[in-house]
Amino acid sequence: MTPQAELIKKQATARLDKEAAVHRSSHQNVHARRYIMPNPALGGVEIVIIVKGSNLQLWCEARAIDGLAARVLGGEGRPGTETYSEPRKYGRHSALKTMDRLHRGDAWRFIPKTIGNLDAILDAVKGAR
């Protein structure tokens, strides 16, 4: 990972460890951390941070962030229909397979470029934006 991506990962982990609960399927060794972020309007929102290559990906349920706001924050919409669009082949990162709603549901995928960008995404997921 790049030094900037390492800083973003450290901030993401620190915030989520403080503000969210660990998902019942727990974390996946080095590559993924699974959480439930509290959101007053939605209850808990599934959110996963994944280290992939030199970047950090942040996945969350699509219901957590309005489409325009998510795109402004750099989100890529990932429809639930992609999960098994090829027979017997899961179309997302395997760390999402143990999630209740992110497994097959509509999602946003973000690759935060700065700590400020990461903080804005996490604030939006928890309904603070």
Domains of the chain: 3-125 (3.90.1150)
Q: Which tens digit of pLDDT belongs to each residue from 57-90?
A: 999 999 999 999 999 999 999 888 777 667 666 5
Q: Which tens digit of pLDDT belongs to each residue from 44-55?
A: 999 999 887 778
Cβ count near 115 (within 10 Å):
15
Contact by Cβ (8 Å): 45, 72 = no
Q: Is 66 helix (H, G, I), strand (E, B) or coil?
A: coil
pLDDT (mean) for 90-114 = 81
Q: Is 88 left (phi over 0), alpha (psi -120 to 50) or beta?
A: left
**pLDDT at residue 91 in the model:** 57
With 90 as the cut, is the pLDDT of residue 99 above it? no
Nearest to 18, CA basis, from 38, 1, 32: 38
Nearest to 113, CA basis, from 32, 2, 5: 5
**pLDDT at residue 55 in the model:** 84
Cβ burial, residue 100 (10 Å; 0-12/13-18/19+): middle
The beta strands (E) that lie in the chain are given as: 21-22, 32-39, 43-52, 55-61, 76-78, 107-110
**pLDDT at residue 44 in the model:** 93
**pLDDT at residue 62 in the model:** 95
